[in-house]
Amino acid sequence: GQNIDQPTEMTATEGAIVQINCTYQTSGFNGLFWYQQHAGEAPTFLSYNVLDGLEEKGRFSSFLSRSKGYSYLLLKELQMKDSASYLCAVLNDYKLSFGAGTTVTVRA
């Protein structure tokens, strides 16, 4: 089975940094994705990790430790438009298994 856990909600101030953790136990692993989803919209791709370590992409970075079944998404210099749900998803062959998502609220 698949078990993917992430916090339900996080709140942070504009300009700050927020780290969203994701732990997973899955029957297979071909990589881990982070998606952003604004209310009522489709998930959009943020990052992909398949090897251990940090991937940096502008204000967003993602880290993976396969031995620990752990990833995090780091959002820097938060902007109001970053208020959204962030979904951790594990790829097993062709199938994505998603966590329930973390709702991030950015306050002025």
The residues that touch another protein, with contacts defined as CB under 8 A, are 4, 30-31, 33, 35, 40-45, 48, 50, 87, 89, 91, 94-101
- DSSP per residue over 50-100, as a string? -SSEEEEETTEEEEEETTTTEEEEEE-S--GGG-EEEEEEEEETTEEEE--
Of residues 22 and 75, the one with the C-beta less far from another protein = 22
Q: Rank residues 1 and 108 by Cβ distance to another protein and give the closer one.
A: 1
Is 14 or 41 the residue whose CB approaches another protein more closely?
Answer: 41
Dihedral sign, CA of 80, 53, 50, 29? negative
CB of residue 3 to another protein, shortest distance in Å: 12
User: CB of residue 35 vs another protein: minimum separation in angstroms?
Assistant: 8
